[in-house]
Structure 1
Amino acid sequence: MNSASLYILSLSLISISLHAQQANIIFEGDTLGSNPLQEVVVTATRTDKKIEELPIPITTITSKEIKDRGMVRLNEILAEQTGLALVGDHGTGVQMQGFDAQYTMILIDGEPVIGRTSGTLELPRITMSNIDRIEIVKGPSSSLYGSEAMAGVINIITKTPKKGLSGELSTRYGTNESADVSIDAAFRTDKFSFSGFVNRFSNGGYSLMPETGFQTVAPFAAYTITGKTGYQFSEKTDLNVSLRYYDNSQDDRYAVESRAVSGVGLQRDFSFFPSLTHRFSDAHTSMLRFYRATYKTESSISYEDTEELYDETFFDQGFTRGEIQHDYTMRSNLVLTSGLGAQYETVEATRYDDKKSFNSGYAYAQLDWKLLDRFNIIAGGRYDMHNVYKSQFSPKLAASYRLNKKITFLASASRGYKAPDFRQLYLNFSNAVAGYSVFGYEDLQENLQRLQDEGQISEVLIDPSTLSKLNAESSWAYNIGVRMRPVDNLIANVNIFRNDVDNLISTASIAIKTNGQSVFSYFNRNAVFTQGTEADLTYLLSNTLEIGGGIQYLEAKDVDEWNMVKEGRAYTRDPETSQTVAVKRSEYGGLLSRSKYMANARISYLETRSGIRLSLRWNYRGRYGIRDVDGNGIINLDSEYVKGYSLFNGSISKSFLNNNLRLQFTADNMLGFTNEEYISYLPGRLLYAGLSYSFSK
């Protein structure tokens, strides 16, 4: 699809798309209020800035919206956002603008959440009970945040205590013995603040195939504990310290070669984040940050009949970073933000030969210039130095033009990158059951030679010495959009995007073992691209009724594969005639797990007399490729797709005692859709009842 057709499509989508993505109109007392474009966000620029002034696509989700929908985990709220798709690859992650989950950076209060054992960060680890809002920046953000932000950034911002004493107790219980209990308390004076939060989240597990006698998802119990304190030494100097601890224990049980195995899996992460802010003058402000995070997993699995150890694994990751940022207000309409920092990462794991480490340093600068109250330009870049891969420079240029009070045009161009991770460089894993092996690039030649010396290799397909050094993935991204408010009660947003990605890291079969299985490793692919259009709209029909929705059109293709199809060099076998035929352009499905169409709609209603709130939502994901049936290396047959599906969610709540007490019932996936073969994170219909009580003094 060329730029012209994308532009035409985007205009047509305005009339059919409904959703509150970049602008959330939320309940205020017994009516609906609407001033979302005045909301201040920080993720897009690392400084406070109103949404209406930002020249890049951003979504904000308030804590009130999350509560009104009855959601308690991060994956639940992200699943309902335009342009985001949940994926279940080694955990539940989120896909953005056609990028896999490993390309989206997840932050809490601006600092990264670690623990990507296989590239995907497990979203249900993060509770929504103590947050103020979520900010979602789409498109490469490497110019500010570095690696892992090639698709975008999701920043979870925790609550800032109100003055005085406040607190909340909330609980939710439902299907599969799912229980979520939270206690939140805070205290604030003119100079001192403290907040503490404790959450317990447990589930009895579920099975999508009960006939097997084993559960698809095992029972678990997880605890989250956070603390946040701040002290104002003077009008110019503030100190803030945050702590977070997460602990998850899971009872694993499954079958291996017709024998039952079981054991306990443990998962723990901890983070410590102090920051010191000093305002030298109205023009100069500096912030000194330190961040330390650890993530650990342990698993011990034994045969139930003999108690013999089947498998024992561990993963231990550490992340340390120091950074200083300085904001210089050169004029009232011109702000320079700059910073530099260094970070040190380590990992020890069963699948690595020894302790691995990365060292890196970086510097960034960004100029925010507002011209004539209509034209806003943001220009900047970041330079990253690394001890393993070559240095990277990630520039960004974005601009917005406010034509009038009703229409603002947006445009941006930026470069993103993602560094090879520990897994892609140093993994050393052989599956004892299936018989295959996976080696990281750095140790591939040594490990392959070892297998050859042991007589385990029957054929070498690719000589490791011919592979180029594994390089960082990089992309150029372009976003063009319009933000519209034709009338006070209507907000519409359209964004057209294109991402051209070089050096995409993929896996390949390097050799065939004598048991018929493969030896895999990682290499850089030539190029891929993703492009499409997102549109959303929110309309306040009355003070008590709001409708909204959105739609995304996406194309995600490998350039080499697409050229083969266009040139008639990709073939398949006709299922009716058994003859070899060329794959048609219309048959090429592009990259795996990408849906061409996604859509959502919602309606929110407040009955003012009784105070009952009702929320109904629909989410649709179109079909997507999942496997190569005919062996031609591409997706082109109907049998190679997962069929599209719809999910219907809803909630109803009523408040008592001056809105301090809330009773709520929620239903997710009301029609009970499941796909036991490919979508393990959808357990069917989920029903919950919740009760919460809050106070402030």
Structure 2
Amino acid sequence: MRLISVIILSALFICASNSVYSDEPLKRPKTDAMLFGHVTSGEEHIPFATIVIEGTTIASAADATGHFKMANLPEGKQTIVVSAVGYKTLKEEVMLEANKSTTFFAELEPDNIGIEQVVVSADRNEKNRKETPTIVNSINPKLFQRTQNVTLSEGLNFSPGLRMENNCQNCGFSQVRMNGLEGPYSQILINSRPIFSGLAGVYGLELIPSNMIERVEVIRGGGSSMYGSNAIAGTINLITKDPITNRFSAGVSQSFTGVANNYEASDDYNIKLNGSLISDDFKTGLSIFGFHRKRDPFDANDDGFSELSSIENVTLGARIFQRVSSRGKITFDYFHINEFRRGGNKFDMPLHEADIAESVEHKINSGALNFDLLLREHDKFSAFLSAQGVNRDSYYGAEQDPSAYGLTDDLTYSTGIQYIRHLHNLVFSEAAITAGLEANGSVLTDEKPGYYDPEENLQHSSTLVADQKMETQAGFLQSEWEIDKVVVSAGVRFDHYKIEDQTRDSQSITGDVLSPRINFMYNIFDNFQFRAGYARGFRAPQIFDEDLHIETSGSRQVLHRNANDLKQESSNSFTASLDFSNFNGGWQYQLLVEGFYTHLNNPFANEYGTPDENGVVIYTRVNAEKGAKVQGVNLEFNASPSNWFQLQSGFTFQKSRYEEPQEFNETRFFRTPDTYGYISLNYSPAPYFNAAITGNYTGPMLIPYFGPQLENPEEGKLNKSGSFFDAGIKLSYDIKITENVIVQLNSGIKNITNSYQNDFDSGINRDPAYIYGPLNPRTFYFGVKIGNM
């Protein structure tokens, strides 16, 4: 709490000192200096391009015809920055005079594969991707549309080193693996803030609708250590949609999951709404989004038990900004998710009357307040407060168990300040310093409510399962130097964490962690960069997502626990890469080769217990006596001859190994293939027609099995899966209704060859965790979308 007070007081001090550090007062006098123009590329006008006065918060956007106007601008020589998705950012100086109009025509060059895209995740500040010493990959809305991704989860398969997987037949608990490491090793951020809690993360990647997201930025490996705990594998930063102009879109789609000879297909229906409004003076903006999804359960092997759960999701959200001066801006974000999912059987019966039922209902409220103030010529101060509340009603039970209901409440918060200072000389050259303070925390309670047993005529009282509180205070300092062809970024982060568990004799764990990082980039040529980096990371021994998910069958119920002497896990990560990109005639292409190596100290591993008389099995998380190594190579190749054709692809070769045998006397990580990759082809022979072909490859992997097909299910068996290639195609056709409004018709197939697991466990005693391979079987879909797109 003391650090929170320091953060708030610092923010107030900086704001009060604005007149000292800023060259402009908060209220900008009217100048009647105006800027008119249009944005084009070749002979085509670019709609909705963003126009910004550099060094201020003044911004506008082109309309649907590519034209714009801006009024009451600051006098003198100003730098105009024009950007649009799929084009290189343009910077050009113009002279603005009071009571006069200036005409400005912007001609943008295509950048169809995002070579020079602006990103924010590398050092918490906007920067051209080619100029960052850390590799940042971006997944944009176009790729979500081409792959018909309803939620965030499926889209993450289309970034190098990332792979989504389903871990439960009953309820669809999923996670993303980055560079071979499990989901909890990756930090999920929303607008660069770590408020995506462990509880929300159990099903969170499938909770978030794709129309909520402007883009996803991915940093692999140690370059993400400045974001704190759980960023050993990397970070996934969800950037939400910003209002830039008056726009709207609405769409509806219908899918049929499991279209094959021996499947009974299930329906998956969704509606998406998006809109934004901007005031005439561009000082106030509002964007809103809505999402509704209803998916029926899917049974792949006709045993009466689902392999994909039923889902009903309603999500609403908004982002509002207010420019408080030419150099100050306040932004507020909010979204609410209400989702109910259920897996098992007897879906028309109450939960406790089914043979197996795994069900959760989430009510998530998330909000964030951010204040940005530009100081001096290039400096920037930011203060933020984010919070997320999760209320979860759950049922994980079998054999009509009335005691399997659960209630979980979780509050996560993050607050802090950040200051970016540009110095003309620091030690040996010009430098940019980024410093900040953060306070993060969470409070979680999980209990089983009491119930009345009519057979025993007995009232059972409620049981407290978890009561955990975690607080982290952190400070970070980073400096970046640019000397001729070399860019060096060095930083350090200090975290002090405290974890209190009231369910374990008031157990308290504290730790102090110093996480250094250094990244280096050498521009061999203008279009050829070498990068290398090192970073330390850590993972605190708290409750993570898999602890709050229960695998249930008629014969066993799996619970996850931390060992009493569990210590924090730490890592040393090294990366090196060669990144070549070029514009040759009409062609653009990029080739990235990236090597990664991570050594885990005191790595977390599971000890599998044996079922007790009630069939309860405890998986205990312990520290392996020796470490573990994760190493490999990520390849990425992107190419485009023009805006009518784009190729994006990536492939990973890797090894994840413990340094001593673990369960089943095996050193290899389970559920981790040594090879996986993706490809995406987009073809637009005409402005109104588009064809997209996509594919995901998953190599063989080891899968533990504890099911009734074994002679001794308690001992389990380690199976090796085959490989999969999940290919899809989507066709879309645009119909122009008015000058600004378009109706789009689309249709396609996912997993055309039905490359899908064919040995699912069956029956009430099945092992629900024995699931692997592509997320969905063959699926047909069609949709309609309307808007000024």
Q: Determine if contact 1:541/1:547 at 8 Å carries over to the other structure.
A: no
Residue 300 of structure 1: CA displacement? 4.7
Aligned residue for 2:439?
A: 342
Match of 2:365 among 240, 259, 270: 270
Please give the alpha-carbon distance, in whole angstroms, between the structure 2 residues aligned to 1:668 and 1:159.
27
State percent identity of aligned pairs. 17
1:494-538 deviation digits (Å, cap 9, x = unpaired): 101100011112222578857897654322112101101111112
Q: TM-score, normalised by structure 1?
A: 0.81
Structure 2 Cα separation of the partners of residues 218 and 143 of structure 1: 35
How many equivalent residue pairs?
617
Counterpart position of 1:193? 285
Pairing partner for 1:616 from 693, 713, 717? 693
User: Is this contact kept in 2: 1:139–1:150, CA < 8 A?
Assistant: yes
SS in 2 for 1:561: coil
The offset of 1:77, in angstroms, is 1.1
Residue matched to 2:308: 217
Q: Secondary structure at the match of 1:390?
A: strand
Partner of 2:361, secondary structure, is strand
| Rounded Cα–Cα distance in structure 2 between residues aligned with 1:431 and 1:174 | 29
Q: What does the per-residue CA deviation read over 1:200-245, in whole Å, with 9 as the maximum and x for residues that have no partner?
A: 11111211122x2232233221011111111111112211111011
Larger relative contact order, structure 1 or 2 (CA cutoff 8 Å, min sep 6): 1
User: Who is 2:37 aligned against?
Assistant: none
Instruction: Return closer, same or farther for 1:355/1:687 CA change in 2, 3 Å cut-off.
Output: same
SS of residue in 1 equivalent to 2:145: helix
Say which SS state the counterpart of residue 144 (structure 2) adopts: helix
- The amino acid across from 1:297 in the alignment is R
Deviation at 1:95, TM superposition (A): 0.6
* Residues 549 and 356 (structure 1), Cα distance of their counterparts in 2 relative to 1, 3 Å cut: closer
Contact 1:149 / 1:416 at 8 angstroms: preserved in 2?
yes
CA contact (8 A) 1:101 1:121 kept: no
CA deviations 1:574-621 (Å, max 9, x no partner) are xxxxxxxxxxxxxx771111111113233221112x731111122111
Of residues 317, 324, 329 in structure 2, which corresponds to 1:233? 324
Distance 2:632 2:549 in 1: 38
Q: What SS is found at the alignment partner of 1:228?
A: strand
- Answering whether residue 673 of structure 2 is matched by residue 592 of structure 1, we say no
- Change over 3 Å in CA distance of 1:687–1:382 after alignment to 2: same
Q: Is the 8 A contact 1:266 1:297 kept in 2?
A: yes
What residue is the counterpart of 2:568 in the other structure? 472
SS at match of 1:331: strand
Q: Which amino acid aligns with 2:295?
A: N
Tell me the CA shift for residue 80 of structure 1: 2.7
Cα separation, partners in 2 of 1:200 and 1:381, compared to 1, 3 Å: same
Q: Which of the residues 537, 541, 549 maps onto 1:416? A: 537
- Root-mean-square deviation (CA), in Å? 3.6
Gaps of 5+ in 2: 1-83, 89-106, 257-265, 449-463, 499-508, 712-716, 761-770
* Separation in 1, partners of 2:197, 2:594: 32
* Cα distance in 2 between the residues matched to 1:25 and 1:99: 31
The match for 1:561 is 661
User: What is residue 179 of structure 1 aligned with on the other side?
Assistant: 269
- Aligned match of 1:661: 743
Within 1, Cα distance between the matches of 2:680 and 2:442?
42
Change (3 A) 1:326 1:595: same
Cα displacement (A) at 1:679: 3.0
Q: Which residue of 2 aligns with 1:393?
A: 514
Shift of 1:378: 0.9
Q: What amino acid is the match of 1:385?
A: H
Task: Report deviation, 1:162.
Answer: 1.8
1:500 counterpart = 2:599: yes
Output aligned runs, 1:222-621, within 5 Å.
Answer: 222-254=313-345, 260=355, 265-300=360-395, 309=402, 311-331=404-424, 333-350=430-447, 352-353=464-465, 355-372=467-484, 374-387=485-498, 388-422=509-543, 434=555, 438=559, 440-441=561-562, 469-488=565-584, 489-509=588-608, 519-525=618-624, 526-541=626-641, 544-561=644-661, 590-608=668-686, 611-621=688-698
Mapped pair 1:61 → 2:139:
yes
Q: Is the 8 A contact 1:353 1:428 kept in 2?
A: no
Distance 1:329 1:561 in 2: 50
> Structure 1, residues 632-672: CA drift from partner, whole Å, max 9, x if none?
xxxxx9x7211111100111111121673221112211112
Q: Is the 8 A contact 2:757 2:773 kept in 1?
A: yes
Matched, 1:150 2:232: yes
**Counterpart secondary structure, 2:752:** coil
Matches of 1:180 and 1:113, distance apart in 2: 27
Alpha-carbon displacement from aligned partner over 1:482-501 (angstroms, at most 9, x marks no partner):
11025532211110110001
Structure 2 SS opposite 1:309: coil
Q: Please tell me the residue identity of whatever aligns with 2:386.
A: Y
CA distance in structure 2 between the partners assigned to 1:671 and 1:205 by the alignment: 21
SS at match of 1:102: helix
State the 1:424 CA deviation. 9.8
What is the distance in 2 between the residues matched to 1:260 and 1:376?
Answer: 61
Amino acid at match of 1:550: G
Aligned residue identity for 1:156: L
Equivalent residues of 1:141, 1:149 under 8 A apart: no
Measured at CA, do residues 296 and 483 of structure 1 come closer, stay the same or move farther in structure 2, by a change above 3 Å? Answer: same
Q: Distance in 1 between matches of 2:576 and 2:757?
A: 36
Q: Distance in 2 between matches of 1:301 and 1:240?
A: 40
1:191·1:231 contact (CA, 8 Å) conserved in 2? yes
CA contact 1:102–1:121 (8 Å) conserved in 2? no
CA contact (8 A) 1:59 1:137 kept: yes
Q: Is the 8 A contact 1:675 1:682 kept in 2?
A: no
591-600 or 136-145, which deviates more: 136-145
Cα deviation for residue 116 of structure 1 reads 2.9
Give the match's secondary structure for 2:753. coil
In 2, the alpha carbon distance for the partners of 1:35 and 1:428 equals 39
Q: In structure 2, how many angstroms separate the alpha carbons of the residues matched to 1:314 and 1:144?
A: 34
Take 1:109 and 1:26, find their aligned partners in 2: how far apart are those partners?
Answer: 21
TM-score (norm 2): 0.72
Residues 127-151 of structure 1, C-alpha deviation per residue, up to 9 Å, x if partnerless? 1113221111111355321112111
Deviation string, structure 1 residues 168-187 (Cα, Å, up to 9, x no partner): 11221111221121111211
Secondary structure of 1:393 counterpart: strand
Greater CA deviation, 650-659 or 258-267? 258-267
Residue 757 (structure 2) aligned to one of 671, 675, 682: 675
Change (3 A) 1:425 1:230: closer
Task: Return closer, same or farther for 1:222/1:78 CA change in 2, 3 Å cut-off.
Answer: same
Q: Distance in 1 between matches of 2:288 and 2:637?
A: 37
Is 2:670–2:702's contact at 8 Å kept on the other side of the alignment? yes
Given that residues 114 and 294 in structure 1 are in contact (C-alpha distance below 8 angstroms), is that contact kept between their aligned partners in structure 2? Answer: no
Q: Compared with structure 1, are the counterparts of its residues 594 and 260 closer, same or farther at alpha carbon in structure 2 (3 Å cutoff)?
A: closer
Deviations 1:358-388 (A, max 9, x none): 122000111121111x211111111000122
Unaligned runs of 5+ in 1: 1-23, 445-468, 565-569, 572-587, 632-636
The question of 1:168 aligning with 2:279 is answered no
Which amino acid counterpart does residue 693 of structure 1 have in structure 2?
A: I
Shift of 1:49: 1.0
Residue equivalent to 1:453: none
* CA–CA distance in structure 1, aligned partners of residues 547 and 312 of structure 2: 32
